[in-house]
Amino acid sequence: MNLRGICVRPVPKSKLIFAIAAPVFLVGVLVFILLPHRNPREVKGVYPSPDSYFRQNICGTGVCDFPGPKAYLHVRFVIDKMGPVEQTPSVSDGSVFASGECQRGKLPILISFDEYSGSVLWQCETDSAFTTGIANSPFTTSKAVFIGNNMGNIYCVDRATGKIAWGKKPSSTQLRSTAIVHGGRVYIGGADFYCMDEKTGELLWSYAVPEWGVEGSPAYCDGLIFFGEGRGIVHALNAETGKEVWTLGTINILTGSSLGGAIYSSPAVADNVVCIGVGEKLFAIDAGTGREKWSFGPAAYNIGCSPAIWQNKVYIFAEEKKDHWKCYCLDLATGGTQWTYDIDGKMSFVASAVISDGIVYFGDMKGTFYALDAKTGDVVFKEKVADSIDSSVAIHDHAAFFANMNELWCVEDYRFNPRVIKAASEYADMLKSREEKKDEIARLIMEMGSVEYEKREAAKQALSAYRLAALPQLKEGVKNPDLEIATRCDDLLKIMQPDIEALDFVEQEKWYEKPEYFLLILESARDQFVEPSIHALERLTGEKFIGDLSDIKTARVQAYKQYTAWLERNKPSPQENK
């Protein structure tokens, strides 16, 4: 065929560009629509928790909504004979829930204690005689406590009575994962990963996890469930259906996880970022796509702790070299180091940081309790309070709760101890009566502030005698102001026992270290001790004394009013107590 003479027009450049760009654009739109797009919401304020439990909220950030102790640490109670227990207790609405191992029958149990006295409210034995007990922490809701055991059973226990509402066995191996509950569903990892109905325990779906199963606890955010598979793979599932949204990491039969190690850590999710320890590194992962954002590898050994996330910063513990542990604060966006802190002792492998009011709380295996400024890493306080601290801490109402192998401990901030506030009220009554009295009881009360131990003991014995004499008359309704004062005073002595002998601090001018008897010194000491005790008030409250020191009597009254007003301003709100 002769093509000569045929004119071929060139295609205009604009049409050529359109012809190429249009299909590319359409493909891009289809990819955008079909690929999964998740954008988890801000954690803080989205899923507030009424309780304090392991990782503090269902997003696993370790950020607590309750105030912690700031200073003046005092042991509120120690509960021994718990059996081997390393799990974080849960604290809620006046009750503490802890898992351990019953010594008398070697049966793993869940126990409920009074938050302020430590007295046992109830205990629940499960039907397993597996002697290693329970390896996860209780999760509390408004009506129930959820706990799994080492035989693969999970229980829903009535939080008021301790009675088992239901018990199921979803797993063929132990449940080391702590459950989380959201939207009427219970999520927990074991041999596989499980979703169960909160009311009945019915299995709604499961997700197969080969070989190692799930060691850490899950996190929930924006309709997704995140967890780490023991072999070293991170998963994100649709919380409603259990379908896989993304995974990060692969397994090679020779080299193991492509991420570099096993996962014992639990994930924390905030600002569309998932943070989790894998092997010797901390990984930050895009929560919507599963793409790695950055990794940080300071550890010589596996990172077992769970990260905490607060105000765009990540907090972890890592064993930099053998028996040398550090706390790291990293930038959430870049992984850059903001500050580090050298910890005095070894850390429990799975102990993790908790953050409250801008303070990072944790304990080491030497029994030292730490509070660090979350922004700077500066020490707010550190104090040895136990032989060892083996769990993460739970923070609630100006107190910290933790496990010490066979014991459950609570340490508190003296200034917010309910007994101290009650003592202030008792003193108010005594102060009103003492304004008009110069009798024997008033003299004995004054002698309670003596620098001489013998005088204090004599006054104490005499006041006890007054109380014994007063009881029959008080029961008969006799209104005798002297006897009522004696009764109040002796009750107060009981509250303060055995610390009454510590009034030797008078000689050392250290009243501010013992607030529960600070008022006793202020109101009962001899006149020459009033001025230095008021200086102690200033150190205790951080406020300048606003009274007149030239008038001792007036100064006593004003100091008392200033201290009680300070207590009132700083006591927890009803919402915090809930």
pLDDT digits (tens, 9 = 90+) for 285-321: 999 999 999 999 876 677 888 999 999 999 999 888 8
Task: State yes or no: pLDDT of 496 exceeds 90.
Answer: no
pLDDT digits (tens, 9 = 90+) for 388-413: 898 899 999 889 999 887 788 898 88
Per-residue pLDDT, 320: 82
Among 74-83, 328-337, 546-555, the range with the most confident prediction by mean pLDDT is 328-337
How many CB atoms lie under 10 A from the CB of residue 432?
10
Asked if 500 and 520 touch (Cβ cutoff 8 Å), the reply is no
Per-residue pLDDT, averaged over 420-429, amounts to: 53
Q: Tokens representing 214?
A: 């799930």
**Bigger pLDDT: 420 vs 288:** 288
Q: What gap in Å lies between CA 271 and CA 275, rounded to an integer?
A: 11
Q: Tokens representing 380?
A: 């707010």
The dihedral sign for the CA sequence 158, 162, 166, 171? positive
Amino acid of residue 514: K
- Burial letters for 80-106: b for 16+ Cβ neighbours within 10 Å, e otherwise? eebbbbbbbbbbbeebbbbbbbbeeee
**What angle is formed at CA 123 by the lines to CA 120 and CA 129, rounded to 5 degrees?**
140
pLDDT digits (tens, 9 = 90+) for 194-253: 999 999 999 999 999 987 889 889 999 999 999 999 889 999 999 999 999 999 988 887
pLDDT digits (tens, 9 = 90+) for 347-393: 887 789 999 999 999 999 888 999 999 999 999 988 888 888 988 99
Residue carrying structure tokens 């919401």? 41
User: What are phi and psi for residue 417, nearest 5 degrees?
Assistant: -65, 125
Model confidence at 448, pLDDT cuts 50, 70, 90, reads low
Task: State yes or no: pLDDT of 504 exceeds 50.
Answer: no
Residue 90 β-bridge partners: 97
User: What are phi and psi for residue 16, nearest 5 degrees?
Assistant: -65, -45
Per-residue pLDDT, 400: 92
**Domains in the chain: boundaries:** 418-577
